[in-house]
Chains A and B, each alone.
Chain A
Amino acid sequence: MTTETMTDQRTVTLEVFRYHPDTDSEPSFQSYEVPYREEWVVLDALNWLKDEVDGTLSYRWSCRMGVCGSCGTMVNGYPRLTCNAFLREFLPGPIRVEPLRGFPVERDMVTVLDDFMEKLTDVKPYIIREEEQSLDEGEYRQSPSQLADYKQFSMCINCTLCYAACPVYEHEDDFLGPAVLALAQRYNLDSRDQGNEQRQQLIWADEGIWDCTFVGECSEVCPKDVDPAAAIQQAKVDATNNFFISFLPFTPPGMGR
């Protein structure tokens, strides 16, 4: 078919961020012509480059289907998973591929995630029980509405696109950032969890929710439709209620935590 032949012959230009700290004094961009296929995503193009042209190209990927969260990259200046960014979205090109903004670069598109991982660990993103219920009491049961309270926040795949989108994270070294705060909220809202107080000190600090100025880009770029901006706003309401209640000599019914 004519269209197929035409498509097969087309190429698209990829401008790829290159930086190998052991040999390069500073980062540069390298242009490659990559075959254009309608069903190809940017990750396919990068894999083709690595297999066929330049084996030294470095980038993270694993699942190819928007689940693992490894392949977060700036594509034409916007944080995307390269596995769901189709080449056809960026025609006629060129397509500029860079490491996620706001993170130190280890090599090419590979970023250093230590800061994110440390902050994630700090908010204890797991169910905390004051006392485990005994096995004969059975499982911890949860109603559909209790599940709905936190379910969307549990969809986070730690891809850190929201960090690349957040203008605050870029400038405030200590800011916990959108995904970490959304995951803290995910466990705070879980009816089985009793760890609120352990997380509060950290997330209610200036470096927690209060550095957020509700720009909202985190929720825009999330590939899993998590709404970190909403999680942070919810936590701000909780923190504010608690702040004012703490001045009262008693805890109003239903407001205790």
Chain B
Amino acid sequence: MRPSNEPFWWAMFGAGGMITALLLPVLIILTGFVVPAGGVDFNQLDTLFNNPLVRLIILGVAFLSFFHAAHRIRHTLKDLGLRSVATPLAVLCYAAALAGTIWAALVVL
């Protein structure tokens, strides 16, 4: 049997799951609710987000979240019956994650 390249995708999935669980709720609450409600001054947050290091971290969060989602969607669709097209499905999912990451890089950087 040939060695699997799955460890690479699974590692991204694991890292993405961790970062998504820890940071996305915070980001959503902060940018979606706390800032509009006036709990945090927008300009303060804007200054923070203009820091290159913070932008890089946000890109990292987006990158891992995309690959986490891609892996999950890929395996869910496979389990739901798309076994005969497993390889194109994997390519499509990870390509979409890559596209999302590039899009995030264009927006953030």
Residue of B nearest to A167 (CB): B79
Let me know if B10 and A240 touch, CB within 8 A: yes
Q: Which of A230-257 contact B (CB under 8 A)?
A: 236, 239-240, 242-244
Tell me how far the C-beta of A163 lies from the nearest C-beta in chain B, rounded to whole angstroms: 16
Q: Is A205 an interface residue (CB 8 A)?
A: yes
Q: Is A213 an interface residue (CB 8 A)?
A: yes
CA distance A204 to B6 in the complex (A): 9
Let me know if B79 and A168 touch, CB within 8 A: yes
Q: Chain A: interface residue count, which band?
A: 20 to 34
Q: Which residues of B contact A210 (CB under 8 A)?
A: 4, 6, 10
Q: List 19 A-B contacts (CB under 8 A).
A: A171-B83, A201-B3, A205-B1, A205-B2, A206-B2, A206-B4, A206-B6, A208-B1, A213-B76, A213-B79, A215-B79, A239-B4, A240-B7, A240-B10, A240-B14, A243-B7, A243-B11, A244-B7, A244-B11
Q: For chain A, what secondary structure do more than half of its interface residues adopt (helix, strand, loop), or is it mixed?
A: helix
1/0 contact string of B74-108 vs chain A (CB within 8 Å) = 01101100010000000000000000000000000
Query: Taking each of B1, B7, B10, B83, which has the highest tally of chain A beta carbons within 10 Å of its own beta carbon?
Result: B7
Q: For chain B, what secondary structure do more than half of its interface residues adopt (helix, strand, loop), or is it mixed?
A: helix
Q: Which of B49-93 contact A (CB under 8 A)?
A: 75-76, 78-79, 83
Q: Chain B: interface residue count, which band?
A: 10 to 19
CA distance A205 to B10 in the complex (A): 13
Let me know if B3 and A204 touch, CB within 8 A: yes
1/0 contact string of A183-216 vs chain B (CB within 8 Å) = 0000000000000000001101111101001010
Tell me how far the C-beta of B22 lies from the nearest C-beta in chain A, rounded to whole angstroms: 19
Residue of B nearest to A210 (CB): B6
Let me know if A202 and B10 touch, CB within 8 A: no
User: Within the complex, which residue of B1, B10, B14, B78 is in contact with A201, where a contact is CB–CB below 8 Å?
Assistant: B1
Task: Give B residues with C-beta under 8 Å from A.
Answer: 1-4, 6-8, 10-11, 14, 75-76, 78-79, 83
Q: Which residues of A contact B4 (CB under 8 A)?
A: 204-206, 208, 210, 239
CA distance A23 to B1 in the complex (A): 40
Q: Which residues of B contact A207 (CB under 8 A)?
A: 1
Let me know if A239 and B1 touch, CB within 8 A: no
CA distance A243 to B3 in the complex (A): 10
Q: Which residues of B contact A201 (CB under 8 A)?
A: 1, 3
Let me know if B75 and A213 touch, CB within 8 A: yes
CA distance A225 to B52 in the complex (A): 51
Q: Which residues of B contact A172 (CB under 8 A)?
A: 83
CA distance A207 to B83 in the complex (A): 13
